[in-house]
Chains A and B, each alone.
Chain A
């Protein structure tokens, strides 16, 4: 299959090309109801590529917008754009965006995209889009958005807590929780040294919230030794020099350990420890439903020992946006105010919450398949020479594999090679790669990934992925 690459050196040229296309297209459609009969003079590959690259560039927004929303595309154009997906490089899109320039970046065409970077990339499904379009909404700040209230009631019920609060992101879910538990200046929170709050939230609990973190070593299974946690609790006698420990945070599943589940027993023990010292317990449960699925323990039981939990809807559950904090009614009341303060007080959020409700209804059951696919992918990778993976440690939907020493391959090179085949991955360092499974990766995609990895490691010449 030939690669049709068109480079435009200015947005004006692109606009001209597009306008010509549009005009021709409109002429052909006028008075004709059967789309099949309409003639398009540009080969389908170029049409699809053009549509795609325009969609992903920052040029001519108004023309593009009017194309998307005013002119109904004929069915075969829709099918084309669905079938042909382009690989976007982060750098090119980012560059164009930061510079605010209208530059079309030439992209090669590939048949499919297999996005294994994270389960956050999940796109809203048809039922979600329908639910969002028809959602009952109201101003959630001046009053209460009815769909948000539904979602929050549902989440509270599922997790066995008194109340819940929808927030824009998991980061805000954790930030609010830590800051509300530690609302007195001079507080300290005990958390794992490899947990998400400590590593990937811009240090916000400190820089924004003034809370001091006390990291304790995370074991390979995502736990912290109970003894070490206890030892880290500050003796109130030393308050002259010590901050005051108010909170312990756990993360379930623990992402950096490879999506490991914390058992009910462990969570309960940490909860008892917290109670013994008058501390609160917060669970970063971004992927708590994955833990529920893998352990066969309902979420409500899993988080019983915790005072609060933050649960992501936008990851494996597939909603486009949002997380939910759950906790006592008093806690949630304070959380609501802090959410406003941080700027998370959005208005007609029913639109997003409607998708969240669908996610809870439809996609929790799909997590088991994600785990199976992850296992299958891990087993396939284990057979590839030059790659090393501990298949037994793949408990949920996250896996890490290493590139063995001695091979010429680096993680960066591997990522570039896979990108040409439409497979997107993330790497930790020059020899460690992370893959995350989600419900929009098919079993065919899994096999495709395995074969592309095999080819990449064997150093075969590149194919176009057909």
Chain B
């Protein structure tokens, strides 16, 4: 029996709130393929406004948002796209840009902070003089925040520099902004300033913002018009989507402001974990809502064992690898659905078999905590 579930696997596990469910139940809807769903239109207008782009398009997932963006920018056969070797598009999207879209990826090394060296990017741009043997570079992709580096933010300055480089060579710039609101919160820069240099951005509603489904692509009106068709082609042309978009609107209104609490919680959890003997985390590298921690060599614990033990207590985590005794574990904070941090830290301390370092403080009330019997 489990008293409660603390799901730290990902921020995609966020469940819809009461306000969202109410909004979904009463949403004004229409056929978004034959015409335009009014609630979807509202959401798309809102997203365009927030990001400072001309238009927007609701899509079922972040994967489809990136896939559509890359394929529309690279709609001529023989295209190549420069992206980080540790970015989501390259690692976790089934290689779709190639297998589905016929676009050639050109991965460039991601630094630990999620950036790629500007010099290396420039060197990766294909010389049109070599077109007899080269594909044609058309696009550069950035990811902000960069998940695999631990949710690191790309600064405005860096983004602008990459944008200038793209312009200089006649390329487009796409930002995989699945967690762009986390970046905006951590950097204290408005989203539209953060993505100004980009031609297009994909933004997830179903992660930290907490909507049940969906992402939004933003860009120019002509881009979005093409994206709409490709969305239909890929099978993302859904009908009465106002239901999902209503939840998305609530997410934007209510939960974008809560992200700073997630970041505070993440920092607190990281500091707590760091004090546990046998676990190691670089607290300064926790910028947003991601934590990676390692199990030190020499301890008997492996990530697999730890995750099983934690599961008995109702805490769910994801691990990167467990074959070595030093293993990386991810903890992701879920917007407003995680209880006060010290309880999780206490449990981690117990289970890793080392001294308890935190005392239990009285709990404050939490909202929407999921209890599972």
Contact = CB atoms under 8 A, between A and B. Distances in A.
Contacts of B237: 168-169, 171
Contacts of B341: none
A88 B30 CA distance: 11
A346 interface: yes
Contacts of A137: 15-16, 212
A141 B26 CA distance: 27
B213 interface: yes
Contacts of B241: 320-321
A234 B335 CA distance: 56
B238 A321 contact: yes
A88 B35 contact: yes
Contacts of B111: none
B10 A139 contact: yes
A435 to B, nearest CB: 14
Contact of B41 (A97, A202, A347): A97
A291 to B, nearest CB: 21
A171 B232 CA distance: 8
Contacts of B235: 167-169, 171-173, 175-176, 204, 342, 344
Contacts of B59: 343
B135 interface: no
Q: Which of B31, B68, B94, B234 has the most CB of A within 10 A?
A: B234
B88 to A, nearest CB: 13
Interface residues of A, number: 67
Interface residues on B, range: 35 or more
Given A64-B42, A121-B30, A351-B244, A208 B234 contact: yes
Contacts of B213: 346-349, 351-352
Nearest to B229: A202
A121 B34 contact: yes
Interface in A424-454: none
A120 B239 contact: yes
A171 B250 CA distance: 29
A142 B214 CA distance: 15
Contacts of B96: 341-343
Contacts of A350: 212
A100 B45 contact: yes
Contact of B221 (A56, A98, A129): A98
A65 B64 CA distance: 27
Given A56-B41, A168-B236, A341-B100, 6 more contacts: A94-B35, A139-B12, A142-B13, A169-B238, A342-B64, A345-B61
Interface of A: 55-56, 58, 61-62, 64-65, 68-69, 88, 90, 93-94, 97-100, 117-118, 120-121, 123-124, 129-130, 132-134, 137-139, 141-142, 167-169, 171-173, 175-176, 201-204, 207-209, 314, 320-322, 337, 340-352, 355
22 contacts: A58-B44, A61-B45, A65-B249, A69-B250, A100-B221, A117-B34, A129-B25, A132-B243, A133-B24, A168-B237, A202-B233, A203-B233, A207-B233, A314-B238, A320-B243, A341-B94, A342-B100, A344-B60, A346-B61, A351-B213, A351-B244, A355-B243
Interface of B: 9-10, 12-13, 15-16, 19, 21-26, 28-31, 33-36, 38, 41-46, 48-49, 54-55, 59-61, 63-65, 67-68, 93-96, 99-101, 206, 212-214, 221, 224-225, 229, 232-241, 243-244, 247, 249-250, 253
A-B complex: 10 closest residue pairs judged by Cβ atoms: A343-B64, A172-B235, A320-B240, A348-B212, A133-B25, A202-B233, A341-B94, A58-B45, A171-B235, A321-B238
